[in-house]
């Protein structure tokens, strides 16, 4: 058929029947993801429109993609090896099969959000992918606890930080350069919900979400959730790998005026992600009835959400939404409300979450040089009739 139509279909058959996946990938810049907005194709970056994040568990084809470099092609999951080394008593090389056999396998719904989610709204604009709302997802991840693996390796008392390495290549093609290598304080690495995951929503990881092995660190900048994971090294100092220093994933230690130049030594590493909510129904610009359902999710780093409120009068008055508990720690919480709109006209729906420590989503946030941590209210304009 390809020959007849005069087009070159990638008919490359190999014994594993791999050609179908390759053909799809060649024709589909989003590798089977559906409805995502492409922000950049090299490296590949794509976000999910809020209304496509309506599910309690984010389907794989709707989970955002944030690549800093070039993913490995056709990685062999059977031969994949994770090295655990540095300040450990017993360095280890673990295949995925070893992880499955030697450690408890757990499945949890976990939120990961890019620290740059919401960057689009900074003024003056900041450099990087102009994410709006959808660099966040809560899929079901299956794997083993990083903590259990580190316990088995034996954490040396001098270890204070992890360093993560993966198999993706630097955009320059220079094999000596790493696109990204971030880490975690040991105390965080040793918490219950940090997983080394090999499945996403009950299937092997998606090639763009780190197949065959990745970290999932819920509630922290998703840049710590290393994809195509090959090595975890323990260090006696804060990691200084690619995108750990300078302006990367760091914010000023004190508020600065928009557009200000900030010295690197005044920047601090972002740890937990702030309290936030998302309206996933109705969609922006939807036609709604006067009595209308509104719903979405809310999350806050490693904390719980205690309250979500909705306003349709620019914050003059608020009604409480019904709020579900998280299915497990690290998952987002679903909320819903029924609006009684007085008139057939345009309305803006605002959602505002409050967490267990009393942090409330703000109307606006301090500018920072790379446009991180925008947790200001989500506002959705609709037409009531």
Ligand X SMILES: Nc1nc2c(c(=O)[nH]1)N[C@H]1C(S)=C(S)[C@@H](COP(=O)(O)O)O[C@H]1N2
Where does this chain bind ligand X (CB under 6 A)? Answer: 63-69, 112, 114, 166, 168, 179-180, 209-210, 222-223, 225-228
Structure letter (DSSP) for residue 103: S
Alpha-carbon gap, residue 149 to 222, rounded angstroms:
21
User: 97 to 126, contacts with Mo ion by CB under 5 A?
Assistant: 114
Q: Which is nearer to ligand X, 179 or 274 (CB)?
A: 179
Alpha-carbon gap, residue 202 to 191, rounded angstroms:
23
Q: Which is nearer to Mo ion, 112 or 349 (CB)?
A: 112
Q: Which residue has its beta carbon closest to Mo ion?
A: 114
Residue 69 site contact among ligand X, Mo ion, none (CB < 5 to 8 Å, cut-off depends on kind): ligand X
- Closest approach of ligand X to the CB of residue 64, in Å: 5
- Closest approach of ligand X to the CB of residue 22, in Å: 20
Residue 375 site contact among ligand X, Mo ion, none (CB < 5 to 8 Å, cut-off depends on kind): none
- Closest approach of ligand X to the CB of residue 284, in Å: 22
167, 201, 227, 228, 297 from 82: Cα distances, Å: 11, 22, 12, 10, 34
Residue 45 site contact among Mo ion, ligand X, none (CB < 5 to 8 Å, cut-off depends on kind): none
- Closest approach of ligand X to the CB of residue 166, in Å: 3
Peptide bond into 282 cis (omega under 30): yes
Alpha-carbon gap, residue 24 to 26, rounded angstroms:
5
- Closest approach of ligand X to the CB of residue 67, in Å: 5
Of 385, 220, 163, 168, residue with least CA distance to 287: 385
Q: Which is nearer to ligand X, 218 or 282 (CB)?
A: 218
Q: Which is nearer to ligand X, 183 or 210 (CB)?
A: 210
Residue 288 site contact among Mo ion, ligand X, none (CB < 5 to 8 Å, cut-off depends on kind): none
CA 320 from chain center: how many Å? 27
Q: Which is nearer to Mo ion, 164 or 352 (CB)?
A: 164
User: 216 to 245, contacts with Mo ion by CB under 5 A?
Assistant: 222-223
Q: Which is nearer to ligand X, 75 or 362 (CB)?
A: 75
- Closest approach of Mo ion to the CB of residue 222, in Å: 5
Q: Which is nearer to ligand X, 223 or 374 (CB)?
A: 223
Q: Which is nearer to ligand X, 110 or 323 (CB)?
A: 110
Residue 4, SS3?
A: helix
- Closest approach of ligand X to the CB of residue 44, in Å: 9
Q: Which is nearer to ligand X, 225 or 292 (CB)?
A: 225
207, 236, 281, 328, 382 from 297: Cα distances, Å: 26, 38, 10, 14, 19
Region of residue 367 (phi > 0: left; psi between -120 and 50: alpha; otherwise: beta)? beta
Alpha-carbon gap, residue 221 to 244, rounded angstroms:
12
- For residue 3, report the phi and psi dihedrals to the nearest 5 degrees: -65, -40
- For residue 185, report the phi and psi dihedrals to the nearest 5 degrees: -60, 145
Per-position DSSP letters for 229-284, written without gaps between them: EEEEEEESS---STTSSTTTTEEESS---TT----GGGEEE--SPPPEEEEEESPT
Helix (H) or strand (E) holding 96: helix 96-102
Site map for Mo ion, 61-80, x if CB under 5 A?
A: -----x--------------
Pairing of strands 161-166, 229-235: antiparallel
Report residue 293 as tokens.
Answer: 């359902």
- Closest approach of ligand X to the CB of residue 315, in Å: 30
- Closest approach of Mo ion to the CB of residue 4, in Å: 44
Q: Which residues bind Mo ion (CB under 5 A)?
A: 66, 114, 222-223
């Amino acid at each position: 058929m390809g020959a007849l139509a005069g087009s070159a279909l990638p008919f490359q058959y190999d014994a594993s029947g791999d050609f179908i996946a390759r053909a799809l990938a060649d024709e589909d810049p989003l590798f089977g993801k559906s409805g995502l907005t492409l922000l950049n194709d090299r490296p590949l970056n794509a976000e999910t429109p809020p209304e496509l994040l309506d599910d309690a568990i984010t389907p794989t084809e709707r989970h955002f993609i944030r690549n800093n470099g070039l993913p490995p092609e056709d990685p062999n999951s059977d031969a994949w090896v994770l090295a655990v080394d540095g300040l450990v008593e017993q360095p280890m090389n673990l295949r995925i099969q070893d992880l499955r056999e030697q450690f408890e396998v757990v499945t949890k719904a976990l939120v990961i959000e890019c620290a740059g989610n919401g960057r689009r709204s900074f003024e003056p604009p900041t450099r990087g992918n102009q994410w709006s709302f959808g660099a966040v997802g809560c899929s079901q991840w299956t794997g083993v606890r990083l903590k259990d693996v580190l316990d088995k390796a034996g954490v040396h008392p001098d270890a204070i930080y992890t360093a993560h390495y993966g198999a993706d290549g630097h955009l320059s093609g220079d094999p000596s350069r790493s696109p990204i290598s971030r880490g975690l304080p040991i105390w965080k690495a040793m918490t219950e919900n940090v997983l080394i995951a090999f499945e996403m929503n009950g299937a092997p990881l998606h090639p763009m979400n780190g197949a065959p092995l990745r970290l999932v660190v819920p509630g922290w900048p998703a840049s710590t959730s290393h994809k195509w994971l090959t090595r975890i090294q323990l260090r006696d100092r804060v990691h200084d790998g690619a995108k750990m220093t300078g302006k990367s994933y760091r914010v000023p230690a004190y508020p600065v005026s928009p557009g200000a130049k900030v010295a690197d030594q005044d920047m601090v590493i972002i740890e937990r992600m702030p309290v936030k909510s998302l309206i996933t129904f109705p969609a922006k610009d939807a036609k709604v009835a006067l009595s209308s359902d509104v719903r979405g999710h809310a999350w806050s780093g490693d904390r719980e959400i205690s309250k979500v409120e909705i306003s349709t009068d620019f914050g003059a008055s608020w009604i409480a939404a019904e709020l579900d508990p998280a299915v497990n720690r690290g998952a987002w919480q679903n909320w819903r409300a029924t609006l009684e709109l007085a008139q057939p006209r345009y309305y803006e729906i605002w959602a505002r979450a409050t967490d267990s420590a009393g942090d409330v989503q703000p109307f606006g946030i301090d500018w920072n040089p790379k446009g991180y941590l925008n947790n200001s209210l989500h506002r959705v304009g609709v037409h009531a009739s």
